[in-house]
């Protein structure tokens, strides 16, 4: 594996070794929760519950809900990528720990996004 160079990544997800602190970890976890909230709000809007009387164009709440869901999913993906870049930047984890950590994060993201969103849809 080549040496990791954070400068090869866009500035909005770039992580330097000095940036990886306990605050960074908790900010990353908070951002996953916020992304899940945006996704869940998109699902609620797509169902037409909170704003059905405000939108007069047919199916506009579905389109708006899908756009909001995609925004939440994109935010989660970018947050996940930044977490991976932080692991690579810190150079304190070996590859086995990285694989385990990333699988746990992916499982958590799946749980937060899809299982909870499907609960909202089915209610």
Whether pLDDT at 1 is above 60: no
Helices (DSSP H) in the chain: which residue ranges? 22-46, 60-90, 95-110, 116-122
Reading phi first (left if > 0) and then psi (alpha if -120 to 50, else beta), residue 10 is in beta
pLDDT digits (tens, 9 = 90+) for 92-118: 666 666 667 766 776 776 677 667 666
Place of tokens 């993201």: 109
pLDDT at 37: 81
pLDDT digits (tens, 9 = 90+) for 3-34: 777 778 888 788 888 887 778 877 887 887 78
HSE toward the beta carbon, residue 29, CA cutoff 13 A: 6
Which pair of structure tokens corresponds to residue 108? Answer: 């958590």
pLDDT digits (tens, 9 = 90+) for 23-82: 887 788 788 778 888 888 888 888 776 565 555 666 777 888 889 889 988 988 888 788
pLDDT at 71: 92
């Amino acid at each position: 594996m080549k040496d990791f160079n954070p400068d090869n990544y866009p500035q909005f997800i770039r992580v330097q070794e000095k940036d990886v602190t306990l605050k960074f970890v908790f900010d990353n976890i908070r951002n996953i929760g916020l992304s899940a909230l945006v996704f869940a709000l998109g699902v609620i809007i797509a169902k037409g519950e909170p704003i059905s009387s405000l939108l007069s164009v047919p199916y506009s709440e579905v389109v708006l809900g899908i756009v909001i869901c995609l925004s939440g999913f994109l935010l989660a993906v970018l947050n996940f990528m930044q977490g991976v870049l932080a692991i690579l930047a810190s150079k304190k984890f070996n590859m086995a720990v990285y694989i385990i950590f990333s699988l746990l994060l992916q499982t958590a993201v799946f749980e937060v996004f899809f299982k909870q969103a499907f609960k909202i849809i089915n209610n």
